Structure 1
């Protein structure tokens, strides 16, 4: 199957995150969060709780054997076995190897061995120990053929169908790491550090499937990456999946061929199917090789085509002009910009909201701006009125003459708070990005001119959450609602709230740290990416067109955007200083021909 098929989701109770999951049956799974280890079912209800599980583990601290017994690391770093009926616990392996301690475990279906990832805190080094069914140590894997240590901080481990030992390893719990693969005998085969080569990989949960693919969660790109058994990248199986946002834990159920995926940020578990029955029956024979070949070839053909299109587009867009630049007093950074007219604009940092002219001088200061927001906290109407979020999380309107302030939308729900606003020129509605603090999640509310709420956008068609933190919001010419989510995506829905697409960087799955967004007269979507200090240009359907600005150009770390519909100029504000640049990138002919955007892209 080329695209994973969503099967179901559940919200697990009695845990705060899904750090590790171990499938017990098709409808029961063990879940841990670092403090709790529970058995749950597809309703999310707690069936059983293990009272003495290891505290502080964010990795593979438990596994299940073929007898449905739970094997887990306890609070004293002994390895315990919980019986199938969950009535008796026995010590399988006592920890006597101080200062080494077990950090992750995996039971091998092929021979009944137990693989244990060990960690030594003083030297920040790791090793893998193999125990047979009697609990006797039979192997240690620690060094490559040059005597160099293979592991630092083992997070998860598993075994592939060919006997390879696969370890998710990190230099420290917060730094990037490596997928380390050795043969059954312990000889180092390869280490995978991300796609493309030499990119960073923030490894977390891993598993293998019936076709010997290796799946790994990467926090940096918020994706699940699929490799073949020899470590060659095949695809991003999932990229910032709705509801989960950042995949952290994986478990492959061998009977149903379904993949369970857990989130690092919440208690959501999602189940996917991506292997058809024909594929699973063809494993380890030439037909399987054909499946793998198709997976590896298709993405590269698509990438090549996109590169050719990008080259043509870059030539076309090389005429982007710097029209003006200036610094303005009264703010330390340009977190958000709202154009009023061609020479007046509102600009905010974390503490201040001022009206300035192109000479950079402050003309008015809003005293009650909310000081806990770092995104699109204000917007301007066609009558030059200012809407902004105040320090009490009310939404106020400041009149054009700046003499009257009116509360338009009063905060009534302490659970949900406004984080960003946008006034729609087409409908005169107000779009408000909302967030929830304790369990960070988001939604978009639409209010009409009377301040009446008319729409809430929160879930996709499967009922999964679309947003984690809506930081900036805008509307495209076709009515699409475009949200810059601080969790690493541009999330686009149609006017009615149906999810159209999510953009997670170029190439897809490469990672995105989005900030300010806007759309232009040609329905392009522009987004600041502070990961690489660029401004991305997308078409209205989410296809990457070009890097409109790069770090080598006039502004350092673009953070905020505002498009002046009258002059067709783009205002760009810097994250770390008070510089604003004004660019022109569409000529008058383009602005009058919306549906003929970039005809060169259609040439073959």
Structure 2
């Protein structure tokens, strides 16, 4: 066979034209070595399992020990036996399969930490090490000079000491010789002198009394002491050079990670047979322990399957909030019914008592295992009885409050620390319901209905966070810390998740009534994937959010190389968007100015306004839709609209054609000459879904339609093209979570975001339908009753709040800016808004029943108006439209 003309197909990478070497088992993606690195480094795919392409085709020839005629299917690492297809008995009578999964997940977590943290930033670490080496060389050069100088001083001192030692020795030798000479002279005189005169003896006595005594020992001791002091000073100089242990080379997370502009929902987990989730503790990225509302603890995975069920938990409702934790060996530590602290082994078979109720003294409420110190933190409390005397005649009655503390135990169960009061002796804790630890060693406690109390590792009080703005009420529930040392806390008062820095400074509301949960009650941070798990007490769902990403310094090297290798391609120049142009030309006025107002004669109320053209607007109420001018006179009248309340039933396109919803819930179009009505889109086949609002998109020329469903109450947004065909139906966000209840009014921002006035919030999604944020009022968590909504040329979002009777102004990211129109008796309750893009004026309908008016406000002006020759302007300073 001639193979010269045979064609062979080489399997390529899905991202780039390189050859395939890796496969992703979690998503259908073929990868080359470089794209494989990018795939496992991305926090969105950090938990994907990437295997070698060649390893998937290597046959395994291991033989089953129990059935020698069959190959093994898997190996049990707990009993070291291989299993084949016929080993069903071994698989059914044990939990080895689940233990293998836990073991495998733990090993995968370690591999992810190595590949995604250590290997990813090896280049950054090498650069920092080079800088440290250069700095150390410069610093050590100064120390080297000092050491040489001090060494020379020490050498001179040693030489002086040796010289003095030799002098002392010579003096002692001379003294000994003198004594010997005098003794021999005296002996000689006694022996040979016969007379009574002893000249030598008398001469020596006279010299001894007349000559000063020389105390060699005293002088040498002073010299030795002086030299000793000088030597000690040299030693002190040498000891100033301190060598400290710096530990392993690492880089701070602040330089590697950063907050995203907004959290993104990654996935949703439904817990079966449950009405809520009090507390969560992750084992791996796919396995976690959760305590239910009935204080049962289960081991579940991300698909919602129950792998293990534990019933030995307290019956007290509040004890389930932080009643379990996981240590570094993945063993479950929990509070049992008798308020002992027990430990469940990793194989889920052996339960041992870690601490008894007698050892704890007080009743334990929450526990947390510190992975940095391998110690157990226990939050405890007791009742504090107080006597209250109602009157002088009545007897004293007793009442009680709670007082608590935090204790620390080591791995053997020995008490190492007790934290009860502050430096002034005041009580720090009342009812600790959750406890955790920050990266700097701070102990962070969620104190029931009071504050978030933070102490340092030694137990000294650092601060207490009581809510934002300062002085507002806080009801802390779930709490956790992340890799950036942020403190995250669930506030039951405002139904938000608040983000603080490590010093207790409020940063932002990370989540405000998240869709699918509404009331967040517990948090858990996954250090491997940097994702946040959020649970609710009322709903059996756990949502996983991604809100941390890597720094921009870690870029796609393949894309950079591709750009650098294409010098012939002309890069496209960035064009100035209309949004940027308006932000450069326009600015907000200090306060809005009322231009004119009028009363619509043929309507009793005003539910929605659509700007038609100069001095003409469409105004709708129940069963009526009229075209009116600025004097209030009716130019055209339509009655074929449904009986609805505060819904955007009509919209006008760029050609002046009116889109509206009729009584049969069909979408019709009225021509700009007001003579011809055609059906644009008929009612859907499902009668449960009815159109509630319409909006024509000036950017794409599409029609956005809000649909509602009564049972259950939910909504969705659909997009229709110019021919009336549905092009992009949207009901949920990217994780199938309902984000709309009743989409009453729809509009669109300059950046393509879809802004919807819903039942109790303003819901904003991207053009593709991914949920961005939900605005629920100011301050965050306060009730909101939205009505009319619109956007302006500066991408502001303006919404009427019927509850506070004000108009709120937000930026494009949902941040509250100001009350554009505060509450006013003359204005009444604002109900609808419309923005005129030509004159930059705001049309507002407000009032009460039968007393509605339409107000026209000017609230924008030009920053630096150009000359009349360049840009013609109207008399009030705005550019004339084309």
TM above 0.5: yes
SS in 2 for 1:409: coil
Residue 405 of structure 1: CA displacement? 12
Aligned residue for 1:128? 405
Aligned residue for 1:106? 368
8 Å CA contact 2:299, 2:306 repeated in 1? yes
Is residue 493 of structure 1 aligned with residue 731 of structure 2? no
Aligned residue for 1:267? 541
Structure 2 unmatched ranges of 5 or more? 1-256, 385-398, 554-582, 866-870
Q: TM-score, normalised by structure 1?
A: 0.66
Equivalent runs, 1:3-402 vs 2, <5 Å: 3-4=259-260, 8-14=266-272, 15-35=274-294, 37-51=297-311, 53=313, 59-73=321-335, 81-89=343-351, 103-109=365-371, 110-118=373-381, 123=400, 125-130=402-407, 132=409, 144=422, 149-151=427-429, 154-171=432-449, 177-184=450-457, 186-198=459-471, 201-209=474-482, 212-218=485-491, 220=494, 222-228=496-502, 230-233=503-506, 248-254=521-527, 256=528, 258-264=530-536, 267-270=541-544, 272=546, 274=548, 313-314=587-588, 316=589, 318-321=591-594, 323-324=596-597, 336-339=607-610, 369=643, 376=647, 378-380=649-651, 386-387=660-661
In structure 2, the CA distance between the partners of 1:223 and 1:385, relative to structure 1 (3 Å rule), is same
Is residue 2 of structure 1 aligned with residue 258 of structure 2? yes
In structure 2, the CA distance between the partners of 1:423 and 1:498, relative to structure 1 (3 Å rule), is closer
Q: TM-score, normalised by structure 2?
A: 0.48
Q: Deviations over 1:407-461 (max 9, x none)?
A: 94247175x676654455787855333567888875322245776532123566x
Q: Deviations over 1:200-259 (max 9, x none)?
A: 54533212345644332346373440311x3234566667778777654322345x2624
Is the deviation greater in 19-28 or in 562-571? 562-571
In structure 2, the CA distance between the partners of 1:435 and 1:56, relative to structure 1 (3 Å rule), is farther
Residue 575 of structure 1: CA displacement? 9.3
Equivalent runs, 1:449-464 vs 2, <5 Å: 452-458=725-731, 463=735
In structure 2, the CA distance between the partners of 1:317 and 1:209, relative to structure 1 (3 Å rule), is closer
Quote the Cα distance in structure 1 between the aligned partners of 2:776 and 2:766. Answer: 18
Quote the Cα distance in structure 1 between the aligned partners of 2:377 and 2:762. Answer: 39
In structure 2, the CA distance between the partners of 1:7 and 1:142, relative to structure 1 (3 Å rule), is same
SS in 1 for 2:329: coil
Residue 525 of structure 1: CA displacement? 3.4
**Superposed CA RMSD:** 5.6
Tell me which structure has the larger Cα radius of gyration.
2
Q: Deviations over 1:167-191 (max 9, x none)?
A: 22343xxxxx521123456553311
8 Å CA contact 1:266, 1:439 repeated in 2? no
Q: Deviations over 1:265-298 (max 9, x none)?
A: 6624325474869x9xxxxxxxxxxxxxxxxxxx
Quote the Cα distance in structure 1 between the aligned partners of 2:369 and 2:633. Answer: 65
8 Å CA contact 1:490, 1:514 repeated in 2? no
8 Å CA contact 1:128, 1:140 repeated in 2? yes
Quote the Cα distance in structure 2 between the aligned partners of 1:433 and 1:62. Answer: 45
- The structure showing larger relative contact order (alpha-carbon pairs under 8 Å, at least 6 residues apart) is 1
Structure with higher strand content: 1
Quote the Cα distance in structure 2 between the aligned partners of 1:557 and 1:126. Answer: 48
Quote the Cα distance in structure 1 between the aligned partners of 2:343 and 2:711. Answer: 35
